[in-house]
Chains A and B, each alone.
Chain A
Amino acid sequence: MYNKRSKFLTFMVTAGMVFFYVPIILLIIYSFNYSKLVPVWGGWSTRWYDVLFQSEALWNAVSLSLRIAIVNATFATILGTLAGLAMVRFGRFRGRTLFGGMLVAPLVMPEVITGLSLLLLFITLKQLIGWPSERGFTTITIAHITFSLAYVAVIIQARLAGMGQTLEEAALDLGAKPFRVLIDITLPRLAPGMAAGWLLAFTLSLDDLVISRFVTGPGGNTLPILIYSRIKTGLKPDINALATIMILFVAACVAIAALIMFRQHKKTMQDELIANQS
């Protein structure tokens, strides 16, 4: 019985892995394809990497996407953290329920609606005060912040609720004024949550297509917008090369994260050992 189940499990896991990773492996292999036609194998070559590195449009898109993602993640983390603090630590203030609802609304709002309403906002603003004068980096970044701060706020709220308030009370009791408590106790303890929020906001921004399409303007091509627009004109294998580079980059990040977690786990075990010995 046990063996049978174990075989079944092994099969399922293998099938799952194949399903997940074969497309990615194929993509990596095809990025070294000489042929200009994506589905035809024309022998090994790094030619599309050369093309990629010479394609200015592509690199501009990558650079724009990264800049937006970084600015977005930073602002979303700051605003989301403040919103989370207000929700969990300020007790019951006027309009708390409304604020809480508005905060998570972007999580459930269809992207097309968010995109459309933001576009209307920017157009109206331009008519009224002349800003933003053109759509691109600024408008996309603002749009991204509006939805990714909701994700950060949710993460921060969960972490704050789990932390309890005793440590903050202890700090107050020892003479720390509320602002010092925030800086010395609350924020250091929130740091892992803020880091997770930052990374999530970064990723959300990096692969957003729908909202970006609404609020972008001439010259405001992010990477997803560029790739999507190329589907119409026909994909060239240089996209495969770009995807390969991105996959390797992500894999490296995951590996580093895993290493950090493993180290932390090891440290906890060591601490316990030390505590037991003393």
Chain B
Amino acid sequence: MVEPVTTSDTPWLEADAEPLIRIKGVSKKFGDFTAVNNVDLDIYQGELFCLLGGSGCGKTTLLRMLAGFETPTAGQIFIDGVDMVDVPPYERPTNMMFQSYALFPHMTVEKNVAFGLKQDKVPKDEIAERVHNILKLVELEEFKKRKPQQLSGGQRQRVALARALVKEPKVLLLDEPLAALDKKLREQTQFELANIQEQVGVTFVVVTHDQEEAMTLSTRIAVMDKGEFQQIGTPTEIYEFPDNRFVADFIGSANIVEGKVIEDGSDYVLVSTDLGDVHIDHEDSVKEGSQVWVAIRPEKIQLSKTDPGKSGPNHITGKVDDIGYLGEMSIYLVRLESGQIVDVTSPNQIRPRTKSQGITWEDEVYLSWESSSVMLLNK
């Protein structure tokens, strides 16, 4: 395996760390359509990096440029310091796991996995040994004589992973690695994938549209929209400190309302919105009177049937408009006097003894939240 360039868990924060992949000013146009628009990105050795975005946001095009199936219209891609633009896919230190797995139907599991090593003219004994080891890692040894058609979806996924990993690439590219699996298997496989990545130490670049998958798997996430990065950061940064409304809305759900800054105090900001005057802990300075957006995550709002007492600066009352019962938690849609609807989620910690217990439709409820939980967005 490749020697780690840095031992840090957060290499992107170190000033002198050398990135394994450097994407510089890369654009890709298909005719008039710009799939990727002048993006810059550094990915470091050992990362599990996710490109997250909706369909058509350019994430797959970017991945295919890393693999060498597409040539950038402009810009450069370096892997381990080498300019990759003119290097054909079969000479790149990358391997890809395809969304459809792309297993060769006329070869057994064993032959599929050995295919890449054979191309590199690796000695026969070594091929056998490496294939054996990798199949052991993905727990498919007993299936090595089977054809791909004779495997279940989850097993095919692991063959695809083994086939890409056995070549010990510097970078493993994964295109929607879990999309073809059913929900239960997907959750289980997420953790398996992260474990395997940790064991082999190869840098993973994952393309996904599934934010839950991105959150559980990655060290860092790049949120993409319309061919551009909206934000690059750790899962926590992206969820708790989004840069803009797109990210706040795309990752998880958020109550986003427009507002005007009334006051920029020394340790707080006061914004007038449809939620009333919202008190926010001070981060960046904002101009008084400027237009901003205030976002609050549904789980950060406390909901109660009785007046909790005026403990904090942020509280308001409303009427329950609708309830979605999900089992482990419930979603409440609360209508405020201003007509604004607020999403609130609340864990169902107590098992109700009777059906009438708990909050129900048309109940008058009290909402409150911490000033530290509110996200203030400029764009």
Contacts and interface: CB of A to CB of B under 8 A. Distances in A.
Interface of A: 166-167, 169-178, 180, 184-185, 188-189, 268, 271-272, 274-276, 278
Given A180-B119, A278-B152, A174 B167 contact: yes
Interface stretch (B38-46, B100-108, B130-138, B338-346): B100-108
Nearest to B155: A278
Contact of A174 (B69, B119, B146, B147): B119
Contacts of B105: 189
Given A275-B152, A278-B155, A176 B119 contact: yes
Interface string B125-160: 000000000000000000100110111100100000
B104 A172 contact: no
Most interface-central of A166, A175, A185, A272 (chain B CB within 10 A): A175
Given A166-B100, A275-B149, A175 B116 contact: yes
A190 to B, nearest CB: 11
A15 to B, nearest CB: 42
A119 B167 CA distance: 58
Given A172-B89, A173-B94, A271-B147, 17 more contacts: A166-B100, A166-B102, A167-B102, A169-B67, A170-B102, A172-B90, A173-B89, A173-B90, A174-B119, A174-B163, A174-B167, A175-B91, A175-B167, A176-B116, A177-B119, A271-B150, A278-B150
B207 to A, nearest CB: 15
A173 B95 contact: yes
Given A174-B115, A175-B116, A169 B167 contact: no
Given A175-B90, A180-B119, A170 B96 contact: yes
Given A166-B100, A278-B155, A172 B88 contact: yes
B32 interface: no
A189 B148 CA distance: 14
B182 interface: no
Contacts of A275: 149-152
B100 A176 contact: no
A173 B100 contact: no
A166 B98 contact: yes
Interface of B: 67-69, 88-91, 94-96, 98, 100, 102, 104-106, 115-116, 119-120, 143, 146-147, 149-152, 155, 163-164, 167
Given A172-B88, A176-B119, A185 B67 contact: no
Given A188-B106, A275-B149, A278-B155, A170 B167 contact: no
Nearest to B160: A170
B90 A169 contact: no
A173 B102 CA distance: 11
A178 B91 CA distance: 12
Contacts of B69: 169, 172-173
A166 B155 CA distance: 19
B22 to A, nearest CB: 21
B276 to A, nearest CB: 54
A176 B100 CA distance: 19
B152 A174 contact: no
Contacts of A176: 90, 115-116, 119
Nearest to B89: A172
B151 A278 contact: yes
Given A166-B100, A169-B69, A189-B106, A175 B151 contact: no
A107 B358 CA distance: 76
Nearest to A272: B149
Contacts of B149: 268, 271-272, 275
The 6 closest A-B pairs by CB, nearest first: A174-B116, A170-B102, A175-B119, A271-B149, A274-B150, A172-B89
Nearest to B173: A173
A169 B68 CA distance: 10
16 contacts: A166-B98, A169-B96, A170-B96, A170-B104, A171-B115, A172-B69, A173-B67, A173-B69, A173-B94, A173-B95, A174-B95, A174-B167, A175-B116, A177-B119, A271-B150, A278-B151
Contacts of A173: 67-69, 89-90, 94-96, 164
A176 B90 CA distance: 6
Contacts of A184: 115
Contacts of B120: 175
Contacts of A167: 102, 104
A268 B147 CA distance: 11
A189 B150 CA distance: 18
Contacts of A178: 90
A240 B48 CA distance: 75
A64 B119 CA distance: 45
Contacts of A175: 90-91, 116, 119-120, 167
Given A166-B100, A167-B102, A171-B115, A276 B152 contact: yes
Contacts of B90: 172-178
B94 to A, nearest CB: 8
Nearest to A191: B106
Contacts of A171: 104, 115
A176 B115 CA distance: 8
Contacts of B155: 278
Contacts of B95: 173-174
